[in-house]
Structure formats: structure tokens, C-alpha cells
Amino acid sequence: MEAVRINELSMGYRDTLVLDDLELAIPAGSMVGLLGPNGAGKTTLLKILAGLEMAYQGEVKICGSVPGPTSKAKVSYQPDHLPLAKDMRVKETTALYETFFEDFDTKRANFMIRRLGLDRESRIREMSKGMRDKLQIALTLSRRAEVYLLDEPIGGVDPAARSGVIDAILDGFDDGATLIISTHMVADIEPLIDRAVFLGGGKALLNENVETLRAVHGKGLEEIFREVYDA
């Protein structure tokens, strides 16, 4: 069964083609690293899958549906910024999500917030970028979704704390669900993912099981990443 199926997907902004006849299939239950340098189209692809960007050409299916109201009920999306009022407290964000999403698990959210070392009384405006990223992860993973889309979730997290965040993602992740996490920080997410998709030139340059990639190339994912994009 496939969580994502894409055929001949193209999309651009003004005169720039970001995705160019992209073909992509992602098996359900995968933990996928959507990899590529800045400008590779990672954020655009996630927005399309989340049903937030509709001005594309081609065929896109997520959870068996075209991105829209039906799929949004099954997909939990974390954008690259926290879309909440800066004056809100952490405890108020969980109440808001519980109101908006029927599948939101407040007990899980509170566990994730504690696991990530966040203070429920803190206001968003008082939090660092890394702390806001952690809050987004807690909120996104606390929905009982079939697919989770995380856009650069650890970009603002201190390097020393990233392994703890990865562990928290594993602790909060539903068995059987699909995770797609976009990043250029390959070394940090390599322990988390079992499949890698390399985007470049608007296409999927590689889409393969991580163990297979290591075996074929005889090296780690970060080295493969450098080879693909430095060539």
C-alpha cells in the first residue's frame, strides 16, 4: 500500500519551475527523509501533500485521496514556522489544537511537551527558535494521523539537543503511520529514517531504502548526499 503516489507533478513560481514532471511513490509505514539543498522544492512538495498549495499540474494522491478536505483529516503537517499567536502560552496551544483537530491527543501532547523539556507556562514570544520547533513537533505528532509531514523540524534546534529531539519523535510516533521529514541536515536524521528521497532539478534523483543505498554505495547517507549534490 502506498501513502503517497505522484505522477508528472509540475509546479513553478513566476518563471521558476520548482517541480518538473516529478514521479514519486512512498510506501505506507515508511519513515522518509525528503532531502535536498535549499531551493530543491522540499517545502513546495510538502505544501502540495498537505493540501495547502493547489496550483500544480499532474496527479497527486496522499492516503488514497487528492490533497483536500478528505486527506487533511488524515495528514498532520508541520510548516517551517509556528503559525500561532506569539502571546499564547504552551498550555493554550494544546487546548487550541484539541478544538481544531478531532484526532488530537492531549495526553500525548503533554507527554511530548515534558519529553522535550518545554514549560507549559511559557509564552511563544519568550521561546527561542529551537524551543518553538520543539513545540511544533509536539503538536504535530499529537494528532492520530496516517501521514505526518515535517518541514525542517530541527533547523532551529541546538546541535547538541538534536539527538534528543529525534528520540522524542520516535517515542511519539504512531506505529504504522508514515513520516516524511524534509531537511538538509542528513547526519541528524539518518538514525530516524528508513527511506531517502533526494530532490534536485525538480525531480526525485533517488528514492530508495536507506539500507539499500548504504549497501550499493558502500558509504553513509551523508556521504551519498554530498556526492549527489556536489557532482
Model confidence over 169-186: pLDDT tens digits? Answer: 887 777 789 999 999 889
| Mean pLDDT in residue range 78-97 | 92
Instruction: Tell me how many domains the chain contains.
Output: 1
Q: Is the pLDDT of residue 47 over 80?
A: yes
CATH of the domain at 71: 3.40.50.300
Q: Judge whether 27 and 208 are in contact, CB under 8 Å.
A: no
Question: 165: pLDDT confidence band, cut at 50, 70 and 90?
Answer: confident
Q: Which residue has the higher pLDDT, 80 or 107?
A: 107
Q: What is the DSSP string of 54-120?
A: ---EEEEEETTB-TTHHHHTTEEEE-SS--S-TT-BHHHHHHHHHHH-TTB-HHHHHHHHHHTT--T
Sign of CA dihedral 174, 178, 184, 190: positive
| Mean pLDDT in residue range 87-101 | 96
3-class SS at 224? helix
Predicted pLDDT at 167: 86
Q: Is the pLDDT of residue 8 over 90?
A: yes
DSSP code of residue 143: B
Question: Quick one: which of 175, 117, 118 has its CA closest to 141?
Answer: 175
Q: Judge whether 77 and 40 are in contact, CB under 8 Å.
A: no
pLDDT per residue as tens digits for the range 106-144:
999 999 999 999 999 999 999 999 999 999 999 999 999
Phi, psi of 124 (to 5 degrees): -60, -40
- Quote the percentage of the chain above a pLDDT of 70: 100
Mean pLDDT check: name the lowest of 25-39, 71-85, 101-115.
71-85
d(CA 69, CA 71): 6
Give the residue carrying C-alpha cell 506569539.
86
Q: Report the first-to-last Cα separation within the chain, whole angstroms.
A: 34
Predicted pLDDT at 157: 87
Question: 81: pLDDT confidence band, cut at 50, 70 and 90?
Answer: confident
Predicted pLDDT at 231: 57
Nearest-5° Cα angle at 10, 4 to 13: 120
Structural domain boundaries enclosing 224: 2-230
Question: Quick one: which of 143, 147, 94 has its CA closest to 121?
Answer: 94
Mean pLDDT check: name the lowest of 98-102, 108-112, 157-161.
157-161
pLDDT per residue as tens digits for the range 194-222:
999 999 999 999 999 999 999 999 999 99
Predicted pLDDT at 184: 87
